[in-house]
Amino acid sequence: MLTMLVLTLSTAMARETYPINEGWQFFFKSENDSEHARIISLPHSWNNNPLAGKDFEETTGIYLNELYIPSEWSQKRLFLHFHGAQSVANLFVNGYHMGEHRGGGTAFTFEITDHVRLGTTNLIQVVVSNNYRTDVLPVSTDINLYGGLYREVELLVTDRTAISPLYYGSEGVLVYPTEVSQEAVKGEVEVHLLTEAETDAMLRLDILNEQQKVVYTRSQRIRGNEAKSLRIPFGFEQPKLWSPEEPNRYRVEVSLLGRHADDLVRFETGFRAITVDEQTGWLAINGQTQRVRGVVLHHDNAMGGMPTTSDYEQDLHLVRDLGATAVRSAVMPHGKSFYDLCDREGLLVWMDLPLQRAPFLGDIDYFSTPMFEENAQQQMREIVMQHMNHPSVTMWGIYSRLIPRGDGLIDFIKSINTEVHRIDPSRPTVACSDQDGLINFITDLIVWHQEVGWQRGTTDDVAIWRDQLKENWSHLRSAISYGGEGFLGMRRLGLQRSKGSSWVSERQQAQFHEEYCRQLAADSLFWGIWIENMFEYGSARRVYSLNGQGLVTLNRREKKDAYYLYRALWNKEQPTVHLVDRRYRLRSDEQQSFTVYSSVGEPTLLINDDTVAMHAYAPCQYRSDTVLLQGSVQVRVSADTWGDVVNLQIGSLLRPRTRLGLPQTTSPQTKD
């Protein structure tokens, strides 16, 4: 027997929302029937282990549930709202196909009114697939597309005339500010409606400040079924604008009242002007330039690709502790509650469309087919419509690291960029590029993905690249994005990365970031610096099923050395004094030197009771002289009232490499 969700309500007043996260049954399509179905709760994925490796499944799953629909709802409209399904979902109600949604990062809604049975149970069946397809973006990605109903599901009950929940999965109410200043805010609120011939209702718009005082109100009569959408002008004086320093918000309420028309949609938004300073090329919020300090966020943690609101809260706490002012939702959007939190925290958001290329040579990132381009347009509209009311969303990411080859790509990107500007002229567009050519001149802003000194060249080459960029392309509004992998525990065994190796030590990652910070941190050429990535994330396509670029481990338990480098540079409210490479506690080499990240001035280094000189190497970076050490050693570092300490074992107590089960290294023979 299927689990029954009984909804007992005599009369649904206005709009009612019922979570449908319990009582689901799940089985794989390959199992043929539900005899051995699992009882699950949402959110759910059949890949709940990011490190599953070869066990990562790209397949099709089936979700079943039953809804009891009261007979009192005979004059109501019913909708199923999915906050996200990865990646293609088909909904059936009592055997009737309600529709298909293609794309895992956005919400979608289907109306089920005409196919439910009143006064009895109704079978809900959702078929979800995360199989690779060339007509569903992203077609090239490093992230795991975990599969399943990985976000919540809701039943919406409205009157016959209602504010539409069907408009690209949005709330049906879109705020378009046209003028934003310290003196006044003006704009339009676009409302999408579901109406019938006998409609006679009053539509009302209210805007309230944080003290719940109405700052603007307007009413308009709705007659007949002709008004499918309308725009209501608004304006008020002396607004409290949203900014990273003061994330002021307003509540928008749109209500319907009339015969068979009792509905209310409310949400928070904020008003701010986003421009690009013509002199510096930097972003400006309400006329105040912003040097963006950003981190790239992907979509999973140790429990897989099903982060909840509490997970988002913990992640953003670490982002704030780092001192970052902006986050990039890589590849596709996060859940809605993530952006609610960013609105309240005053964080700037770069939101990607899933038009990107992963770093795998065999991947094709663009298919010049009608189905591919149609899906890209569909997902673009859903992303913009569903998130444009969030003041934290500062820029729309059009593409990431595409290779301009084949027919039509440049024209296609231009068409996407133009359509985004048509829908939302209030925000700039941005792209992440590691290519030359015309592809870099389409979006308003460009972010250069740079990795010289990692797989090729030296880190000093980034300064040469920067100088060439400044000389030849300084008119471009440029930022830079960079990062490198670093895995914990490598140095402890004395292992170092060899050519072609997939494992890189935490120390090598930190050294890469140290040199990039030394070369770029204070350069006014860039409107922002974006670090790849804030957290490690699962990637079944990699050898160890993990992308290790994160400043913090996948389980959020360990902050790597590079994390403390940016904390020292970016967090001016909380002091940082961090002894680098402190996990490397067993050391065979008797010659040692030490690096310290300090935000409170030059630190004092004590080895046992001896003071060792330290020298400033770069902002917030200090390095010691080389010293000879042996045996048990305590290393202490202090600056102001802050400090760090670690105990090391150096030299003779370490066993030879052969006794660790590791081969001895021998020098290659050479010819005379």
Q: Is residue 288 very low, low, confident or very high in pLDDT (cuts 50, 70, 90)?
A: very high
Greater model confidence, 499 or 361? 361
Per-residue confidence (pLDDT) for residue 46, from 0 to 100: 96
CA distance 342 to 320: 11
83-127: per-residue pLDDT in tens? 999 999 999 999 999 999 999 999 999 999 999 999 999 999 999
CA distance 672 to 669: 10
% the chain with pLDDT above 90:
83
How confident is the prediction for the chain on average, in pLDDT?
A: 91
Residue 509: name the closest of 484, 480, 481, 537 by CA. 484
Indicate if 291-574 has the same CATH topology as 173-269.
Answer: no
Least confident of 30-34, 62-66, 417-421, 510-514: 30-34
- Is residue 135 within 8 A of residue 375, CB to CB? The reply is yes
Amino acid at site 219: S
HEC profile of 169-207: CCCCEEEEEEEECCCEEEEEEEEEEECCCCCEEEEEEEE
Tokens read off for 663: 């081969």
Report how far apart, in Å, the C-alpha atoms of 116 and of each of 63, 101, 111, 174 are: 18, 20, 10, 30
Output the pLDDT for position 407: 80
Rounded to whole angstroms, the Cα distance separating 203 from 256 reads 5
pLDDT tens digit string along 429-439?
A: 999 999 999 99
Tell me: the pLDDT tens digits for 382-421? Answer: 999 999 999 999 999 999 999 998 789 999 999 999 999 9
CA dihedral 638, 639, 643, 649 (to 10 degrees): -30
The confidence score (pLDDT) of residue 367 equals 95
In single-letter form, the type of residue at position 290 comes to Q
Residue 230 phi, psi (nearest 5): -155, 160
Count Cβ atoms within 10 A of the Cβ of residue 32 and give its class: 0-12 exposed, 13-18 middle, 19 or more buried.
Answer: exposed
Q: How far is CA 427 from the centre of its chain?
A: 18
- pLDDT score of 640: 92
In Å, the largest CA–CA distance within the chain is: 100
pLDDT of residue 13: 55
List the end-to-end C-alpha distance of the chain, in Å, as a whole number: 82
Predicted confidence at residue 19, as pLDDT, reads 98
The DSSP letter of residue 640 is: T
Please give the single-letter amino acid code of residue 619.
P
- Over residues 145-192, the pLDDT tens digits come to 999 999 999 999 999 999 999 999 999 999 999 999 999 999 999 999
173-269 folds as Immunoglobulin-like (2.60.40)
Query: Which pLDDT value is given to residue 226?
Result: 65
Q: Is the pLDDT assigned to residue 251 strictly greater than 80?
A: yes
> What are the tens digits of pLDDT across the range 597-648?
999 999 999 999 899 999 999 999 999 999 999 999 999 999 999 999 999 9
pLDDT (0 to 100) of residue 666: 36
Give one DSSP letter per residue of 315-342, joined into a string. Answer: HHHHHHHHT--EEEE-SS---HHHHHHH
CA atoms within 13 A on the CB side of 514: 20
Element (H, E) at 40: strand 38-40
Closest CA relative to residue 641, chosen from 586, 612, 604? 604
What mean pLDDT comes out for the span 127-137?
A: 97
Mean pLDDT over residues 279-295, rounded?
94
Please state which of the four CATH numbers 3.40.640.10, 3.30.70.20, 3.40.50.720, 3.20.20.80 is assigned to the domain occupying 291-574: 3.20.20.80
In 106-168, beta strands by DSSP E: 108-111, 120-129, 153-158, 162-163
How far is 373 from 412, CA to CA, in rounded Å?
Answer: 8
Q: pLDDT value at position 523?
A: 86
Cα separations in angstroms, 646 against 247, 562, 591, 635: 41, 18, 17, 5
Question: Which of the four CATH numbers 2.40.50.100, 3.40.50.300, 2.60.40.10, 3.30.2130.10 does domain 586-657 have?
Answer: 2.60.40.10
Task: For the domain made up of 4-160, give the CATH fold.
Answer: Jelly Rolls (2.60.120)
Residue boundaries of the structural domains of the chain: 4-160, 173-269, 291-574, 586-657
- Residue found by looking up tokens 């935490």 in the block: 506
Distances in Å between the alpha carbon of 518 and those of 467, 552, 619, 639? 15, 21, 7, 21
pLDDT at residue number 463: 94
